[in-house]
Amino acid sequence: MELIKTKIDVAGQERLSMSERETVFEARDVSVFYGNQRAIDSVNIDIYQRLITAIIGPSGCGKSTFIRTLNRMTDLVPSARLTGKLRYRGIDLYGPGVDAVEVRRRIGMVFQKPNPFPKSIYDNVAYGLRILGMKKDLDDRVEKALHSAALWDEVKDRLKDSALGLSGGQQQRLCIARAIAVEPEVILLDEPASALDPIATSAIEDLMHELKRDYTIVIVTHNMQQAARVADMTAFFGLNVTPEGSREGILVEYDKTEKIFTNPSDSRTEGYVTGRFG
Amino acid sequence: MTEPAFSLRTSGRLRRRQLVNKVMGALALGAALLAVSVLAIVVISVAIRGASALNLDFFTKNEAQGFNPTGGGVRFAIVGTAVIVGIATLIALPLGVLVAVYVSDLASPRFARITRLALDVTNGLPTIVIGIFVFTMVVASHGQSALAGSLALAIIMVPLIARSTEEVLLLVPTAQREASLALGVSRWRTTFSIVIPSAMGGILTGTTLAIARAAGETAPLLFLTSLGTNSTADSNPLHPLQSMTYAIFKYSNLADAGFQAKAWATAFTLMCFVLITSLASKLAMAHYRKKLGG
């Protein structure tokens, strides 16, 4: 609760007025377990609409686990279990009757390694549209998605070619196009540029700034410069070693990106962003 | 520089150990060569003995009327095997793939283990037992038919197809499934639209292997469809049909050399089919695995 108070104080000072922004995700005491092992412990965080929220932290701190709880991809791990409350626009994401398939349709995800289907460029983007019954104006929708992902000009003459022939950076933008084609409300990016070279990374970052106008974006990154460059808000996850010796991820600090990188409140955040550990 | 007080050359006990080493190596090599040569000897001897009966008539004509060891052919048996194995494949392929999908994507780890074990045990069942089972269930009440034979062969093929399909389904990268699921596509739709098409090459090679295995089966066909039937070139699966394996069995029991040559020639044809299909599917599988793995 303390964290939230701090955040609102800071938010009042600048154009990023959090009190006026709609909260998209609201996590209250969210813990995730794999079997008996707790992966993240009591996370409290509010993620706001049409901002880019970055999640940073050392390896094994549960960043990816946390972002995967946001569209229930954690369901795919049979032993995974979530406690606490995680609300999406006020609805309990893990409440009774909530269908994970519908959740994922609204909350898209792009993964660490580009994972286009072994199909044509066109069919990669059209795949979700066809299955979800968005077949009207299919060509227009595909073109629009590829435009939004800043890929159209590079692929417009070879839409029928295999997506596997694209470069890594192009493949990742294709994955973004595929995700936004089905018109989600949120896009989750799990280290989207970690497998890419600096030029492709920069293209993805530019794209994120564009997408922010229409989408709420949450990005996990282990690259602090990237978080500093793209994110409005930054959450720093740290590692807590319990007396029994197991390692759990915790949310150490969550604030505006500028604050996290220039004047963090927590010494652990400061240590991490200044490169003293992690 | 002074000479060191030890030597790195062979001496004493080491000489004996090296001898044992050489002998064991030679024995292992000999065993491997024996295994290879058995295959070569079988192929060559069958080919030599069947050669005299191999001609166009052999493949295109039915058994000659009356007692005519040199005329006519085994078209009836080839057609019979094709019909019986074809129908068995039509039954076993969808069933095997569904079982594999269940085991790899849907079942709880515990039930998946049980299913796998059941498949492996079925695979190990003596085929004559499967034959007897189908005989009691189908033939005893409805009489012999190619369909009954197909049913027995399908029981033999399902575990083969299911296990090889499961193996290739697991090779399809998790990232592919995740990409589809993250779009809000349901699980079964992901399996049928993404996973199975990616695994298709592997599924088909596994099926080819199962076909090769089924085509070579004799025991379950004997009393389900072949034994005691006449050698017409019927292809109606509701009638009892002959098969290549039964033709080999029948001709080899006849005294005349002409019939025996026919038995060898049929054996050669069947063997070539089995060898080529299994070799081709193994090569295709290796290629496919490399493609998916890389």
The complex's ipTM works out to 0.86
User: Rounded to 5, what percent of chain A is helix, strand, coil?
Assistant: 40, 25, 35
Tell me which amino acid residue B237 is: P
Question: For residue A180, what are its two tokens?
Answer: 């936004």
Alpha carbon distances (Å) from A51 to A25, A208, A210, A231, B5 = 12, 10, 11, 8, 77
Alpha carbon distances (Å) from A127 to A110, A130, A237, B167, B196 = 15, 5, 35, 26, 15
Judge whether residue A17 has pLDDT over 70: no
What values do phi and psi take at A239, rounded to 5? -110, 135
Q: Among all chains, which residue has been given the structure tokens 């080839």?
A: B78
Q: Which 164-193 residues of chain B touch chain A by CB within 8 A?
A: 173, 175-176, 178-187, 189, 193
Mean pLDDT of chain A: 88
Do the Cβ atoms of A132 and B178 come within 8 Å? no
In a domain, A87, yes or no: yes
- Nearest residue of A to residue B186, measured between CA atoms: A101
Burial status of residue A23 (CB atoms within 10 A of its CB: 0-12, 13-18, 19 or more):
middle
Interstrand relation of A107-110 and A186-190 (parallel, antiparallel or unpaired): parallel
**B128 lies within 8 A of chain A by CB:** no
Distance between CA atoms of residues A98 and A114, nearest Å: 29
**CB-based contact A197:A218 (threshold 8 Å):** no
Q: Which segments of A107-151 does DSSP mark as H helices, in order?
A: 121-131, 138-148
Do the Cβ atoms of B183 and A101 come within 8 Å? no
Distance between CA atoms of residues B3 and B8, nearest Å: 12
Top residue of A109, A131, A162, A183 to mutate, by most chain B CBs within 10 Å, is A131
Do the Cβ atoms of A178 and B179 come within 8 Å? yes
Do the Cβ atoms of B182 and A111 come within 8 Å? yes
pLDDT digits (tens, 9 = 90+) for B100-152: 999 988 888 899 999 999 999 999 999 889 988 888 888 878 878 888 889 99
Judge whether residue A34 has pLDDT over 50: yes
Confidence (pLDDT) at A21: 80
Q: Which residues of chain B have pLDDT under 50?
A: 294
Q: Count the domains in chain A.
A: 1
DSSP-assigned beta bridge partners for residue A235: A55, A254
Do the Cβ atoms of A105 and B175 come within 8 Å? no
Q: Which segments of A149-266 does DSSP mark as H helices, in order?
A: 152-155, 168-181, 198-211, 224-230, 257-262
**CB-based contact A114:A173 (threshold 8 Å):** no
What does the DSSP 8-state code read for residue B198? H
How many Å lie between the alpha carbon of A109 and the closest alpha carbon of chain B?
6
Domains of chain B: 56-293 (1.10.3720.10)
pLDDT digits (tens, 9 = 90+) for B248-258: 888 888 888 88
Confidence (pLDDT) at A198: 87
Chain B hits for A182, CB-CB cut-off 8 Å, are 183-184
**CB-based contact B192:B128 (threshold 8 Å):** no
How many Å lie between the alpha carbon of B181 and the closest alpha carbon of chain A?
7
Binned at pLDDT 50, 70 and 90, residue A7 comes out as: very low
Question: For residue B211, what are its two tokens?
Answer: 């076909």
State the average pLDDT over residues A99-109. 94
Q: Which residues of A221-230 are buried (b: 16+ CB within 10 A; e: fewer)?
A: bbebebbbbb
Do the Cβ atoms of A101 and B184 come within 8 Å? yes
Continuous segment of H or E residues that includes residue B252: helix B244-252
Which residues touch A248 (CB under 8 Å, ≥6 apart)? Answer: A38, A39, A40, A41, A62, A239, A240, A241, A242
How many Å lie between the alpha carbon of A18 and the closest alpha carbon of chain B?
29
Whole-structure pTM value: 0.77
Q: Among all chains, which residue has been given the structure tokens 């034994």?
A: B227
Which residues touch A159 (CB under 8 Å, ≥6 apart)? Answer: A120, A121, A122, A142
A226 lies in which domain range? 2-273
In a domain, A278, yes or no: no
Q: Find the CATH number of the domain harbouring A255.
A: 3.40.50.300
Tell whether the torsion through CA atoms of B209, B213, B216 and B221 is positive or negative. negative
**CB-based contact A189:A218 (threshold 8 Å):** yes
Top residue of A68, A73, A120, A127 to mutate, by most chain B CBs within 10 Å, is A127
- CA–chain centroid gap for A120, Å, is 26
Distance between CA atoms of residues A187 and A184, nearest Å: 7
